[in-house]
Amino acid sequence: MKLSKSVLDKLNAITDKRPSIVIQHILKYGFITTEDLKEKYGYEHPPRAARDVRERGVNLLTYKVKSSDGRNIAAYKFGKPVFLDDKVSKKAGRTALSKALKKALVEKYGAICFVYLQPMPEGLLQVDHRIPYEIGGENEGNDIDCYMLLSPSANRAKSWTCEHCSNWNLHDVNFCKSCFWAYPEEYTHIAGRKERQIIVTFTDNEIEDYNRLIELVGIDRAERTIKDMISEFIQTNNDK
């Protein structure tokens, strides 16, 4: 693809390390693969590098290629046009949008992680799309209910799960809408698995209960013990 000087200038003006590596590699070779990003540049989560490029307004296309050992992997190349200048997700705009969104979300829901349901300092909370940008695109109407507040650990867990989900390549928005990681308040599956999840967090004085539980049953049996206690509680109340 022959690029105009103005487009090249805009691409070369992106100097942040991760997106710049992707852009310069594509300029040199025409594309970059997830294998390149992992093996050559040391990025364990290649889709994040691609996301960084897209957030600068670059039209990055994903397609399938074969890895060096014959596996199907993703590759990225520039689309036409190379820049989508009307995207609200360009870095500067996204930063301002995130600040406004966080304020609106905190005002509506409180300073709480949507996944762990734990109150935490507002400054630690991060705003994320309920449905990953790579699948659902940008929310043009800026409806705050299309976003969620996450703790840093919940955000990392969500990113990893989404990037390793079968829907990452299928891009079925409805699949995401019924997933725990998009709508933990009402879901039918967790990344395609028939599961339900309750996250139990012990805080303050409850930590002694946690320590005692581990002493009694061991860390490996703690989850099973809690499940058994819940089953017993339900059975007892069903018999009433």
CB atoms within 10 A of CB 10: 18
**pTM across the whole model:** 0.59
Give the number of other Cβ atoms within 10 Å of residue 223's Cβ: 11
149: left (phi over 0), alpha (psi -120 to 50) or beta: beta
| Residue ranges of the chain with per-residue pLDDT less than 50 | 86-96
Distance (Å, rounded) from C-alpha 65 to C-alpha 131?
26
Say what the pLDDT of residue 88 is: 38
* Residue-level pLDDT at 86: 43
Q: Are 34 and 6 in contact (CB under 8 A)?
A: no
132 cis-preceded (ω within 30 degrees of 0): no
Q: Please report the pLDDT score of residue 92 as a whole number.
A: 44
Q: For residue range 81-113, list pLDDT tens digits in order.
A: 888 754 434 444 444 456 778 888 999 999 999
pLDDT at 89: 43
Contact assessment for residue 111 and residue 125, using Cβ atoms and an 8 Å cutoff: yes
The answer to whether residues 133 and 89 touch, using CB atoms and an 8 Å cutoff, is: yes
Q: How far apart are CA 179 and CA 187, in angstroms?
A: 5
> How confident is the model at residue 85, as a pLDDT?
52
CA distance 106 to 110: 4
β-sheet bridge partners, residue 78: 60
Task: Count other C-beta atoms under 10 Å from residue 91's C-beta.
Answer: 14
